[in-house]
């Protein structure tokens, strides 16, 4: 209540005073709430990056840009207004805000299926295919109809309003019933409609740029009807076993040939007599996901779900009759997904069921997850969930 209003109340009858105060107290209030508390990462999930990728200092959320990957919200959102300020600390920096994302990253990439709101520094440069002023576009299986498009699914800003490194920029993202709009530094510039998914997680992207964020806040809007196909994949409790910067959590012999390669875990093809890498942790009953990119020179690789148990070995072989028709074309990633419960293994390849509850007689009860290579190969998106 203002000082002027308080003075006016002194000269009004009691009934009038009660009425005025009631109206003043019922005025709409700011319904935004912090999405980042300025102290720690409460409310956020580190999906596939290192602890060093996301840090908090002096009220800022700082992204190192290494490795490529994602930080997402703990919960899903459907309709909302999201506001934040960001700045690139190094020219030509790259990052993004993802809307309506799945719980984990898409096959063969370090990023989610989602709608991306671009966060590029001006020095990155503008082309016919992208700008540095707030493009919006669907990625990795999501869809969207752009307004102010150029023949594809990317929506381009109608005006160049972002400021260069190291100046702060303000984004206001309105996501409502499958439509998305971006205001850059106070003016609406980019829009898209008919997005799918249209309910999911909000993510911040690490993509090489040193980025600062602050004042991240959200206002939730009323829900609208949404079909199951337009809802992102909800949290399956999967956690990444590889952090993208080093081999923390893994054990490998000297000169094994395995190296951290940003979001990829790579085997160069030259190694000692033990071309294996194993998790420090042992597992019993798990759900798992891993992506594989065989090279032209690759021979058969194997993933042991319990180290030392031949019965639990999954062979990565495009010539295997059971896998051949489901293997991706040469040069493309393959996703293996399944569960191991006791002696029962279920497995899918690129979304196609290979078998369900196959008996693995004599399998050990526990063991590390171990990868054995025989030629150059890349792994990525290695996730597990303890079923116990």
- Inside any domain, residue 52: yes
Residue 4 has pLDDT above 50, yes or no: no
The share of the chain scoring above pLDDT 70, in percent, equals 91
Same domain (yes/no): 165, 261 = no
Rounded to an integer, the average pLDDT of 131-150 is 97
Among 204, 233, 262, give the residue marking a domain's end.
233
- Whether 25 has a pLDDT exceeding 60, the answer reads no
205 pLDDT above the threshold of 80: yes
Q: Do 322 and 375 lie in a common domain?
A: yes
Out of 185, 214, 233, a domain closes at 233
Q: What is the mean pLDDT of the chain?
A: 91
263 plus 302 within the same structural domain: yes
Q: Do 258 and 136 belong to one domain?
A: no
Residues 224 and 260 in one domain: no
Exposed/middle/buried for residue 29 (C-beta within 10 Å: 0-12, 13-18, 19+): exposed
pLDDT at 241: 98
Q: Is 199 in the same domain as 310?
A: no
Q: pTM of the full predicted structure?
A: 0.90
Count of alpha carbons within 13 angstroms of residue 30, beta-carbon side: 6
| Residue span of the structural domain in which 160 resides | 33-233
Number of structural domains, the chain? 2
Q: Model confidence at 308, in pLDDT bands (50, 70, 90)?
A: confident
What is the phi/psi pair of residue 374, to 5°?
A: -145, 65
Looking at the predicted structure, is the pLDDT value of residue 24 above 50? no
pLDDT at 23 over 50: no
Helix (H, G, I), strand (E, B) or coil at 325: helix
- Rounded to an integer, the average pLDDT of 286-292 is 98
Q: 268: pLDDT confidence band, cut at 50, 70 and 90?
A: confident
Question: 3-state DSSP helix/strand/coil percent for the chain, to nearest 5?
Answer: 10, 45, 45
Position 308 in a domain: yes
- Asked if pLDDT for residue 170 goes beyond 50, the answer is yes
**Residue 195 and residue 322 in one domain:** no
Residue 147 in this model has a pLDDT that exceeds 90 = yes
> Do 252 and 188 sit in the same domain of this protein?
no
Q: 269 and 202, same structural domain?
A: no
Same domain, 340 and 196: no
SS3 category, 262: coil
Q: What's the confidence (pLDDT) of residue 14?
A: 37
- The answer, yes or no, to whether residue 1 has pLDDT greater than 80, is no
Average pLDDT of the segment spanning 381-386: 98
The residue with tokens 């020095």 is 123
Lowest mean pLDDT among 27-36, 72-81, 190-199: 27-36
Asked whether the beta carbons of 86 and 207 are under 8 A apart, the reply is no
Q: Which of 243, 198, 242, 202 is nearest to 224 (CA)?
A: 198
Which of 192, 214, 233 is where one domain is finished?
Answer: 233
Q: Contact 88/95 with Cβ under 8 angstroms? A: yes
Query: Rounded to an integer, what distance in angstroms lies between the CA atom of residue 245 and that of residue 324?
Result: 33
Shared domain for 203 and 288, answered yes or no, is no
Q: What percent of the chain has pLDDT over 90?
A: 84
When pLDDT is averaged across residues 185-202 and rounded to a whole number, the result is 98
> How does pLDDT run across 81-135, given as a tens digit for each residue?
999 999 999 999 999 999 999 999 999 999 999 999 999 999 999 999 999 999 9
């Amino acid at each position: 209540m203002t000082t002027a209003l308080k003075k006016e109340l002194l000269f009004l009858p009691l009934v009038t005073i009660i009425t005025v105060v009631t109206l003043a107290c019922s005025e709409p209030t700011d319904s935004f709430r912090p999405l980042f508390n300025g102290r720690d990462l409460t409310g956020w999930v580190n999906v596939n990056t290192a602890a060093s990728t996301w840090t908090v200092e002096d009220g800022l959320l700082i992204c190192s840009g290494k490795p490529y990957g994602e930080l997402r919200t703990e919960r899903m959102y459907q309709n909302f207004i999201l506001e934040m300020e960001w700045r690139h600390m190094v020219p030509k920096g790259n990052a993004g805000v993802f809307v309506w994302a799945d719980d984990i990253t898409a096959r063969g990439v370090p990023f989610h299926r989602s709608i991306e709101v671009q966060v590029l520094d001006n020095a990155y440069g503008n082309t016919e295919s992208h700008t540095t002023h707030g493009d919006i576009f669907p990625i990795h299986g999501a869809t969207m109809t752009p307004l102010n498009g150029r023949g594809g699914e990317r929506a381009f800003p109608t005006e160049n309003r972002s400021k260069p490194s190291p100046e702060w920029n303000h984004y206001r993202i309105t996501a409502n019933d499958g439509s998305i709009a971006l205001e850059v530094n106070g003016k609406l510039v980019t829009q898209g409609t008919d997005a799918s998914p249209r309910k999911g997680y909000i993510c911040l992207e690490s993509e090489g740029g040193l980025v600062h964020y602050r004042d991240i806040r959200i206002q939730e809007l009323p829900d609208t009807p949404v079909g199951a196909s337009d809802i992102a994949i909800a949290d399956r409790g999967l956690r990444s076993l590889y952090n993208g910067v080093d081999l923390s959590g893994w054990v490998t012999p000297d000169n094994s040939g395995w190296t951290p390669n940003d979001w990829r875990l790579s085997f160069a093809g030259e190694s000692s007599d033990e071309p294996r890498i194993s998790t420090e942790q042992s597992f019993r009953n798990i759900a798992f996901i891993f992506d594989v990119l065989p090279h032209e020179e690759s021979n058969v690789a194997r993933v042991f779900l319990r180290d030392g148990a031949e019965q639990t070995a999954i062979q990565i072989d495009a010539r295997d009759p059971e896998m051949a028709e489901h293997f991706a074309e040469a040069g493309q990633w393959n996703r293996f997904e399944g569960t191991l419960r006791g002696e029962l293994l279920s497995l899918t390849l690129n979304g196609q069921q290979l078998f369900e509850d196959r008996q693995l007689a004599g399998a050990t009860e526990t063991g590390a997850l171990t990868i054995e290579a025989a030629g150059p190969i890349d792994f990525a998106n290695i996730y597990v969930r303890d079923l116990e």
